[in-house]
A and B are shown apart, each in its own frame.
Chain A
Amino acid sequence: MTRTITRRFLLVSAAVVSTTIGAGSMTTVNAAETIKLGIVAPMSGPNARYGGFSMHGAELAVKDINDAGGINGMKIELFNADSQGTPVEGVSATRRLIDQDEVSFIIGDVSSSVTLAMQPVAEDAEVLLLNAASSNPKITYQAGVGGFKWTYRNYPTDENRALVVAKYAAEQRGFTKFAVLSVDSDYGRSAVTFTKKYLPDFKGEILSEDYYKEGEVDFRSVLAKIRDNGAQAIIMYGLADTTPIIARQILELGLAGKVTLIGNGEFNTEKTIKAAPKAMEGAIEAAAWLPQYDSPASKAFVEKFTAAYNEAPNNHAYVHWDTVNLLAQAIKEAGSADKEAVREALSKIKYKSPVGDVTFDDHNQARLPMILLQIENGKPSIKGAYTAEIQYPAN
């Protein structure tokens, strides 16, 4: 008994030690010729439903760039690290990418609180952190001139989005009575906060305010309340996979056509609309991108992604794909993969994304065009693209 247990113990500890050390010694030989890029995203647990798309988007972009001969002859080597959507794991993942894999560039994370915890780590190691999916305004409040020199965000902030949607809904559709049904996260909450800031300008009022937790599936109670309070539109800054659930329940309660969804949450994808066409009709969304966007680059992306992964890309897939391309162009313009040079290049970049030109302000926040669309006859119809300067609070 003693012997076997001790042996087992030794075996297990040997295995743990050797994998740790083994992982540590995996430094690549031709470091000069590859660009090391790390992706931090939730890949296990409930949040994996966002991380999976992020990873695929980035993979696709890297593959295309490498197939085309790389950037100035340098290939991109992609490392992925699981954040599980928790700050501790996210920081561990980041640390590992920086110290073990020796990456110079990191794209991540989806969850804002993870990104916020990653920022000081990247800053400390002087590694370029590109965020492509967190919307917490703080991330860029404290970046660039706000402090963190190495954080950039290629994702729209909620303020611009909220303004565009509120303005269109009020001025073009004449809505004045609104109900809030958004996700209970920094994204949902801050978008609604900004909406509240602008609504009075358009004589709009909010009749009820509800936030749902991630994974919520039962909206009947809230929708019944909205039916009874007579709101004309539901302000919904939600999660992509919740939109079809809400749409179906709008249908179920006989609210289709009586109340309109406005906000953001992949209202425009074919599957969402198909889930409840009558409920989605007339919905207004401000999106950074949509699969039907009519540009060759965007169409090519959708096609390639669908072919490679057997499912249509979503917004997370796109933003990560786009951010890899953005980084590639910055490296090309810098003429080298030197972090410092790439950072300089990024600040001055004028990147042509599939939806328009992207530049960065002094807080390292991308000025992104926001596409406003309306669902008409079961198809998204683009009503315009808006870019606005972000106003930063005085520190």
Chain B
Amino acid sequence: MNAHLPILEIKNLSKSYGAVKAVNDVSMHINRGEIAGLIGPNGSGKSTFFDCSTGLARPDTGKVVLDGQDITGWSLNRIAREGRMLRSFQKTVTFKALDVEENLIIAGQMFTFPTLASTFGLGKLSRSRIAALRERARELIKMAGLWDVRHQPAGNLSGGQQKLIQFASMLMPEPKLILLDEPMAGINPKIIERVVDTIQYANKSLGVSFLVIEHNIDVVTSICQRVVVLDQGAKLVEGLPHDIIQDQRVREAYLGG
């Protein structure tokens, strides 16, 4: 693994749904240790781009290279498990019936027990590894400020708290890269701060790279080191956050969109 290479490189990605070209020949990269932003008006193809990069959808053409490895066509779970690239969803999702601790343990499991057989308890004795998993889950719960509710079913908690569970979950497997789909959507400002803190902590202390889709321009400018703008399925501009918000084309795209 070459430290100078980008952690993720997407080359000429295209995806059509019927006659609609949702993503048209988009290339971008994320540097190691970077927090990159992806913005664009509604319907500009951000989510499709995300889905195609993370294996939830299959791109028509193009290549996705993660840490020097071609992962085009890998399934979502394989990318997460073997590539350690995780993604969130626009809608907050947790395992609602399970408590916070279980949520986090599940998130870490496939990385502690990478083969199917080992999850069934075949092979090496796994009790100590489960204990380690639980230990890590508790640390992250503390960090996310969810300690008091750790035995509550996730579904009983507020939207913001569930969002935090989601973040904490994604940190369980010691990921290389996290793709966030509108992490600030529909949560109150207090939690926004908390989420921003968590992202920055993960980035600085744990060395996780990020790609963030976000509509909240303040958040984008405060955390992202570089921003890519999509419009009508194609890449419009790429640059530093404060340059981008001043860019005429970007303004037109948003207003005209």
Does A touch B (CB under 8 Å) in the complex?
Answer: no
A residues near B (Cβ < 8 Å) are none
B residues near A (Cβ < 8 Å) are none
